[in-house]
Structure 1
Amino acid sequence: MMAATLLRILVVEDDKALLSILCDMLAGLGYHAVGVASAEEALIQLDTGSFNVLLSDINLPGMSGIDLASRAVAMVHGIRIIFSSGFGYLVTDRLEFSFQLLNKPYHLQELARAIRHSARQLSGAEQ
């Protein structure tokens, strides 16, 4: 399995307080997380960094999290996608890539489970 320290997570959340909390939670779980407040900032990070997981709010100002994820999948081979939504559902039912959905509000255990699932998928893809 991929070690927690090797997993790099890009967190995209326009609520800056929640973004800070999420990055702190992920660091507490032993992951390296980089947080940005918009899809446009995320695209810059994806272009310059090496991320394994994109954890993105669906409803972002400007470009949606779904559009961001579509671009991320095209930019970064094998990146795993986790959406977070306050609506409890996706605004589309057909996407060309696999993803997980965390319904807001979620607990630390749910976040940890989603990240571990992504790590297992990455480990399987590397074998």
Structure 2
Amino acid sequence: MMSADRLTILYVEDNEMLRATIVEYLEELEHPVTPVRTAEEALQSLETDHFDVLLTDVSLPGRSGIDLGKHALERYPDIHLILSSGHDVSGTAKDMRNTQCLAKPFDLDRIDEVLESVRQSLRAGQS
């Protein structure tokens, strides 16, 4: 794993403009980021690379971000899941370990807050 301040992030978002904007922002923060468009692409990336964080939109073409997240948490118990949605998914997320919600639309400061809580959790050894 990288230093506690840099998080390896798998970012799943089917909206191309939003994906490009968020990737650019995360890279400015020096987080190594792998952007993909679908849950299926994310599953392939998870099999080949290690990620600290799976940041996924809930509404994806094909498999939903929630299904993707559940699968990722099952297979990769150390991963931290951030569910991004315009709908309230906190009821679903509260039953999922290492999971937080990021309500859409969100501002960049909110991403920082969520990633900081992941960093604190990793520092505390609560992965």
Q: TM-score, normalised by structure 1?
A: 0.89
1:65-85 C-alpha deviation (Å, 9 max, x unpaired): 011001111222310011111
SS in 2 for 1:100: strand
Code of the aligned partner of 2:49:
G
2:25 matched to which residue of 1? 25
Report how many residues are paired. Answer: 124
Q: Which moved more, 1:77-86 or 1:34-43?
A: 77-86
- Show the 5 A alignment for 1:28-47: 28-47=28-47
Matches within 5 A, 1:22-101: 22-87=22-87, 89-90=88-89, 93=92, 95-101=95-101
Cα separation, 2, equivalents of 1:110 and 1:15: 19
**Distance (whole Å) between structure 2 residues aligned to residue 91 and residue 63 of structure 1:** 19
Structure 1 residues 124 and 68, CA gap change in structure 2 (3 angstroms): same
Q: Report the RMSD for the aligned CA atoms in angstroms.
A: 1.9
Q: Match of 1:10, SS?
A: strand
Determine the structure 1 residue equivalent to 2:13: 13
Task: Name 2:5's counterpart in structure 1.
Answer: 3
- For the structure 1 residues 126 and 90, does the alpha-carbon distance in structure 2 shift closer, same or farther, using more than 3 Å as the test? closer
SS in 2 for 1:55: strand
For normalisation by structure 2, the TM-score amounts to 0.89
Percent identical residues: 34
For 2:75 and 2:104, how far apart are their aligned partners in 1?
A: 27
Distance in 2, matches of 1:96 and 1:45, equals 21
